[in-house]
Structure 1
């Protein structure tokens, strides 16, 4: 088993998904796939990602998302290495994930389609 975990996805916050899609399509040619009224994924950008609709103030709008087949195993490794789980494993269309902060307070997520 390869223990290297790679950046797999980047997720941003957005106040208005339609304006956000129009901007990134017009400026950069990105394409979008909607997953309900509060989420849209983008491609044709070099790294896949998405925009999640929010009403909150956007302070740090990017969420780096890693991939691992076994969320329970990698969650234990994250905690053992000094990370803090801030959102326990949950399901979403297409998979499951959890969020954690590193010792400096940066929030990341790890997802799996398993």
Structure 2
């Protein structure tokens, strides 16, 4: 049984991204952020329960949710987004959200 992703506020999300960047530098792994252009309690429920317990979700403003996906390849990200959109369809949610994803980049220490 999975309780789904961790939900937090946007400030906490940004702190988690900084921690993840340090982990990426240390372990040579990768992570991605995905922004969805939809914000509703129903969509948040779908997001939370479509993701792993280690993933993080936050509302970045009134109309967008952002998720942090750790230890993922680009193919994993595409599969995860497909699962989220499929779950939206299964729950007959109107207005399937658009999304953008990008790799979390960590600055190299000098």
Same fold? TM cut 0.5: no
TM value normalised by structure 2: 0.30
Which has more radius of gyration?
Answer: 1
* Structure with more helix by fraction: 2
TM value normalised by structure 1: 0.30
